Amino acid sequence: MNLYLRYFDKETLATSVDEAIDFLKSIDEIGMNPVLESDIRDYVASDVYYPKRYKIRPRVYFIIIKTEAATMLDFKEKKALRSNLDNSQAKERIASPVVQKLNEERPGWYEGSVDFKRVSLVPGTGKFQYRDTHFVAQVKAMSGLDCYNRIIDHLRQRVDDRSQFPSAKGKNYHFRFLGLAK
């Protein structure tokens, strides 16, 4: 693993922690000290892959990025990304379990429940207000997402246009598979 370091227009790709620290020592403004050196060594030894920035003075920082790039050109062209997985494995890793379950094709009956903000008229004042509304329906669908879309389409035809519906991926939509369609 290599380390990319940058401070304004000064940058380097170091192959070791010692090389990175020597680079930082060569910049007088940074003021390398044992505490900073120890922190950099801890960062490099950790499993953390996000970039780390260190404050020199107000609004002035230097950054360190862990990379697999062998050369500065590879780093700049982003040829050495951290993931060595092929695209299908990478997509599976990125997609959350909720999204995978939502998109899983399983034709049949679903029970979907939606909590949404419904606009309704207040009789005495003639004004409108949002009311939390819970709606449950049994729907014949192809997937959890298809169930959600059918429920929302049904509600849009029957409630005020200003009503607010939750995302299918959010905590205000739940579904369960009831069984195969007959």
Reported pTM: 0.49
Tens digit of pLDDT at every position of the chain (182 positions): 889 889 888 899 999 999 999 999 998 888 888 998 999 999 999 888 888 888 888 888 999 999 888 888 888 887 766 554 445 545 555 556 767 888 889 899 999 999 999 999 898 898 999 999 999 999 999 999 999 999 999 999 999 889 999 999 889 999 999 988 66
What is the reported pLDDT for 182?
61
Cα distances (Å, whole numbers) of residue 52 to 18, 73, 125: 17, 21, 56
Q: Residue 91 to residues 1, 97, 163: CA-CA distances in angstroms?
A: 24, 12, 34
